[in-house]
Amino acid sequence: MAIIQFTEKDLLRDKIVEPGMYKVHIDDVSNGEASKDGKSINYIAEATIIKNADNGSEEFAGVPLTWNFNSKAIGFMKGLFEALGETVTAQSRFDTNALAGHDVEVQVLNDTYNNKMQNKVQHNYRKCRD
C-alpha cells in the first residue's frame, strides 16, 4: 500500500486563473532534459503566482505554473532574462539555475490541452513594477 500526502501546491495545480499578467516567484528552472525525440533539450520552469500584476489581486496567489523552453527556440528565453535586468546579445551565456529565487511578471492565458483547460504561460515577461 502506498501512502501519499498532498501539499497546498498540489491542490492548486489544476486551478484555472483569469488571463492576465501575474507577478510570480520562480521556484526552479531545470538544467535541461532531452526532448521525447532526443533532438533537443527542454528547460522546464516552475513558478508560483504571488498576485495579479495589474490590479494587485491575490485571488490566485499560490497557484503553481509550469512552462518550458526548448533549445531549438531558445530565443523565447530572451525576454525572461531581460525582464530580470540582463542584457542579451548573440554570444550571451546564462546559467538557468540562476533564475530560481527571482520574481518576474508573466502573461498567463487559458488554453485547452487534451480537452482539458489549463493555464498557459506566454513568453511575455515584464520587470516587476513593485
Q: Tens of pLDDT along 24-72?
A: 999 999 988 888 898 999 999 999 999 999 999 999 999 999 999 999 9
Contact (Cβ atoms closer than 8 angstroms) between residue 12 and residue 62: yes
* Per-domain boundaries in the chain: 12-126
- Kindly list the distances between the CA atom of residue 53 and the CA atoms of 24, 63, 88, 97, in Å, as whole numbers in the listed order: 9, 14, 24, 24
109 torsion bin: left (phi>0), alpha (psi -120 to 50), beta (else): beta
- The per-residue pLDDT for range 93-108, each reduced to its tens digit, is 999 999 999 999 999 9
In this structure, whether the domain defined by 12-126 belongs to CATH 2.40.50 is answered with yes
One-letter amino acid of 123: H
Cell numbers at residue 31, please? 538544467
Using a cut of 0.85, tell me whether the model's pTM lies above it.
yes
As given in the structure block, the three cell numbers for residue 75 are 530565443
